[in-house]
Structure 1
């Protein structure tokens, strides 16, 4: 494979199916399937060639089969005109897709115990990650949650790919009542976890990272940010991230992420540009070059 970067393809739809509250589309995309690494995503054009919907929609890759012609599957729920159009696609329709995009989940060099935590559609990218970790000899335990039972993604598959699977719903309609962070401490203790991976809404990622910090465990989080281009040009998906030098920078979720170290994400400041972020109004370097102070006045 000479080039591991993303490609643009007009890919035929193989299947469209319902998975509880979600739709799943599988496309034939061998060049994307062979490049894919767990945690990466697709940017899909919607509305057809003459549509006024100019922006692509980002979707986490849920499943990849390099064999069988090279297929890629993504999940979504209908939330607007673009996803409504996607839900109406049928076998042999063509989709204009770009991928695989983004920074994937880093995998441990040695076999370790891993807890994977997902909320809602954020569960989708954890399944290829679980398979990749198991191929490296890691133990995998899953904690999956959502608001209601039909929004818990892949409960049957979860039991197959993980040593244990814990399910949580906010209304108590499936598994235990609560949020995914509620049973996480118990799972970490019982499985003697070494690392936590998570994907879902920002409040969930914040709570999961805080729980992992109590046990001094590293976290890798895949953030769910709105993306207009998916290629790093528009700067619409920036997130405040603390670098190795202690300086906060506005990182693009689409190319610098979507995976970041949880302890480096300034969750309290998501959606803003912190005053001490590099390049923010009033920013100036401190004498040691490691931080910033607001300009006087």
Structure 2
């Protein structure tokens, strides 16, 4: 099973660095803006499930962004890719920045996904832009000989993340859209039980809105599989100092507590989250 206790003693990626990064590429794909950033020291310490916190002009709180991909070498040296959905002033500002913009970046941050010790069957479930960390995770799992089944979900076709790329990352890919514009019609909760049975997965990984995470974790628990979920919540600082990202969980000792999503998370065991209190 996983290398470390999921939601327990999973170690992060070492000490994060705070650097002055630069936008070296930007491209609109469907409903999202894909940014390629230089951030010396961040790609080198990355593990799937990490995120970065970026400063936004005119805002005190920083924006947390999942790391979608790292490139070890390019014309600019190591780079990282992030996916931005315009949801407010901050994300709108980030999405509009042209090549050459300098941005303050801190990372890699957060608790990453724990990897299985052995080659097992894994089901990865993601929705929207939040599915970003599942793509590098799929690559790491395949390197370990794991059979990877990937579910890519979205409200509609424009908000599917990298559906074509997914077919290069997994043994099998299922596409879901709530409106039925492409793939199967419905939401993750409608299909995850059948998809889990079909994949015979020993471990379930999920990234997306809370209802997606809860559905995936519940399905895993019903069949006795491990689950790990990347919980997305408001993270004003991203480093744990402000305590502004409470995540209600049950500890391994059975005691209910609140941890910081940006440090004790964002990846935790699905059966440890107190979903009704989230």
TM-score, normalised to structure 2's length?
0.92
SS in 2 for 1:67: coil
Q: What is the rounded CA distance, in whole Å, between the counterparts of 1:260 and 1:19 in structure 2? A: 30
Residues 204-234 of structure 1: CA deviation (Å, up to 9, x unaligned): 1111111111111110000011111111122
SS in 2 for 1:30: coil
1:269 aligns with 2:269: no
Q: What is the rounded CA distance, in whole Å, between the counterparts of 2:189 and 2:30 in structure 1? A: 23
Q: What is the rounded CA distance, in whole Å, between the counterparts of 1:118 and 1:22 in structure 2? A: 15
Contact 1:239 1:253 in 2 (8 A): yes
Q: Which stretches in structure 1 are left out of the alignment for 5+ residues?
A: 271-297
Alignment partner of 2:263 out of 242, 246, 255: 255
Q: What does residue 44 of structure 1 align with?
A: 54
Q: What does residue 225 of structure 1 align with?
A: 233
Q: What is the CA distance between 1:97 and its match in structure 2?
A: 0.5
Q: What does residue 286 of structure 1 align with?
A: none
Residues 221-269 of structure 1: CA deviation (Å, up to 9, x unaligned): 0001111111112222111111111101101000000000000001011
Contact 1:30 1:66 in 2 (8 A): no
Alignment partner of 1:33 out of 43, 47, 59: 43
1:7 aligns with 2:17: yes
Q: What does residue 10 of structure 2 align with?
A: none
SS in 1 for 2:139: helix
Q: What is the rounded CA distance, in whole Å, between the counterparts of 2:197 and 2:253 in structure 1? A: 32
Q: What does residue 210 of structure 1 align with?
A: 218
| RMSD of aligned residue pairs (Cα, Å) | 1.1
Q: What is the CA distance between 1:141 and its match in structure 2?
A: 0.6
Q: What is the rounded CA distance, in whole Å, between the counterparts of 1:243 and 1:38 in structure 2? A: 23
Superposition map of 1:188-203 within 5 A: 188-203=196-211
Q: What is the rounded CA distance, in whole Å, between the counterparts of 2:264 and 2:124 in structure 1? A: 21
Q: What is the rounded CA distance, in whole Å, between the counterparts of 1:245 and 1:31 in structure 2? A: 36
Q: What does residue 148 of structure 2 align with?
A: 140
Larger Rg: 1
1:66 aligns with 2:72: yes
1:236 aligns with 2:271: no
SS in 2 for 1:118: strand
Q: What is the CA distance between 1:183 and its match in structure 2?
A: 2.2
TM-score, normalised to structure 1's length?
0.87
Q: What is the rounded CA distance, in whole Å, between the counterparts of 2:206 and 2:199 in structure 1? A: 16
Residues 34-80 of structure 1: CA deviation (Å, up to 9, x unaligned): 00000000100011xxx3x1111000000101222100010011111
Alignment partner of 1:22 out of 28, 32, 41: 32
Alignment partner of 2:195 out of 187, 196, 199: 187
Contact 1:78 1:87 in 2 (8 A): yes
Contact 1:14 1:26 in 2 (8 A): yes
Count of matched residue positions in the alignment of Structure 1 and Structure 2 = 264
Q: What does residue 55 of structure 1 align with?
A: 61
Q: What is the rounded CA distance, in whole Å, between the counterparts of 1:256 and 1:167 in structure 2? A: 31
Q: What is the rounded CA distance, in whole Å, between the counterparts of 2:257 and 2:197 in structure 1? A: 34
Residues 124-161 of structure 1: CA deviation (Å, up to 9, x unaligned): 11001111111111111111111111111110011111
Higher RCO, 1 vs 2 (CA within 8 Å, ≥6 residues apart): 2
Q: What is the CA distance between 1:29 and its match in structure 2?
A: 1.9
Runs of 4+ in 1 over 4 A off after TM superposition: none
